[in-house]
Amino acid sequence: MNASFLKYIVPIKNNLFLFHCYYILQFVILTFFYKELLKQKWVYVILVIVLGIIAFQFIQSPGIFFRYNPLGVTITQGFIVLYSVLFFYKYLQENNEFLIINIGLFFYLLSSILIFASGNLVFNMALITEYGYHLLLNLNNVLYLGLQFLIFVAWWKNYYSKKTIK
């Protein structure tokens, strides 16, 4: 999600702290979502452990709040991808109303991990130009729009058409 528009509203130079809030909230909300789908209590244990690791990072090094944190992004999105794979495995033979959303989450988060987890490595080694940086961010934005489209399709297929038939 691109929050670069904030520089026009609030005079801040670095809005990276919003990204930390985003990936942590995304992890918490999607963990609860997959807890309901998978019906496994160990999902709560993973939630507590991952949030503990991230909290430990912020306590140990408070300056990381204003820097890019590839470990936090990789851990949170990696577990969501794991939940997604387990959902695929569980509902392999069945048709589930959340299958389309799960497909979108799987592909978006897997590609997002590849884009964001390598962030510091790519930028520190100067392997990418400013154009390449914007290309990667725009690719992530397109994939995010694809996810939103699949969520809309799932909603349309499962909820909208049922209400109009009644």
What's the confidence (pLDDT) of residue 2? 47
Residue type, 96: N
What's the confidence (pLDDT) of residue 162? 54
Summarize the confidence of residues 112-120 as an average pLDDT. Answer: 72
Are the C-beta atoms of residues 137 and 2 closer than 8 Å to each other? yes
| Closest C-alpha to 66, from 19, 28, 120 | 19
Q: Which pTM does this prediction carry?
A: 0.74
Confidence of residue 137 (pLDDT cuts 50, 70, 90): confident
Alpha helices in the chain (DSSP H): 6-9, 16-38, 42-60, 70-90, 99-117, 119-124, 130-155, 161-165
- Where are the chain's structural domains? 9-157
